[in-house]
Amino acid sequence: MLTLERVTGGYSTGKPAIHDISFSVQSGEIVGLIGLNGAGKSTILKHVLGFLQPSSGTIAFSTDQPLLAYVPEMPELYEELTLWEHLQFMAKAYGLEEQQFQERAKRLLELFRLDKRAHHFPGSFSKGMRQKVMILCAFLVKPDVLVVDEPFVGLDPLATETLLNQLTEIKQEGTAILLSTHVLSLAETYVDRFVIVHGGNMSLHGTLEQMRQQAGLPDATLEQLFLAAVRG
């Protein structure tokens, strides 16, 4: 569904932040981007989303007009739209049928326990609740490609569990998910393949088993592999 081939880029052409990044995300798969702060994870995501242009390499989608959804690390909401209006806005933008929208929206609001706040403005929401709104908007449209940047930050354990269940559900429905996270224990359980980024380069990539072989650590956990990769 999504393929990156030898992508080099960053915020200025003279100083690339990422170098030769190549990986793919298939439909019905979760690929985890893992790295230290400043390793280049968010930069890769911004290139995938089209917010940044690579100086070399290609980013390709298997369909011409894929539906993309993005959950940023810092929730960015329209302060002048209520939670319900945010969902309605997304439904209009993606051309969802009214009945389909009503069903999905109500289910998601209940799942994330936001049904009582549906007609509130986000000004009164906590960071976790704002994050939930972003997640709800992304799940509402059932995108072809879902890009999620540090989704677990600020979420309570119940919301984290719901999010993981929802990620699994839309994955099974065929969505390609690119997930950036620091929570390695969750990533180890829910992510199918990994890309460990260090200093803007790919250190290890593939399934857990493939990465163990690449690192020469046959019994290593994801955390051990990650630490080995970043410590060189």
List interacting residues with other proteins (CB under 8 A). Answer: 49-51, 53-54, 58-61, 64-70, 72, 76-81, 85, 88-90, 92-95, 121, 123, 134
Minimum separation from the CB atom of position 91 to other proteins (A): 8
Cα separation, 150 vs 45, whole angstroms: 11
Other CB atoms within 10 A of residue 99 CB: 8
Q: Which is nearer to other proteins, 46 or 212 (CB)?
A: 46
d(CA 221, CA 213) in angstroms, rounded, equals 12
What's the closest the beta carbon of residue 107 comes to other proteins, in angstroms? 21
Element (DSSP H or E) covering residue 11: none
C-beta of 80 vs 209, nearer to other proteins: 80
Q: Which is nearer to other proteins, 119 or 231 (CB)?
A: 119
Strand ranges inside 26-100, DSSP E: 29-35, 56-61, 68-71
- Nearest partner of 196 among 31, 35, 24, judged by Cα: 35
Residue whose CB is less far from other proteins, 59 or 163? 59
Residue 126 CB neighbour total at 10 angstroms:
10
Q: How far is the CB of 33 from other proteins (least distance, A)?
A: 18
Q: Which is nearer to other proteins, 88 or 203 (CB)?
A: 88
Taking a C-beta distance cutoff of 8 angstroms, is the pair 61, 2 a contact? yes
Q: How far is the CB of 80 from other proteins (least distance, A)?
A: 4
Q: How far is the CB of 137 from other proteins (least distance, A)?
A: 8
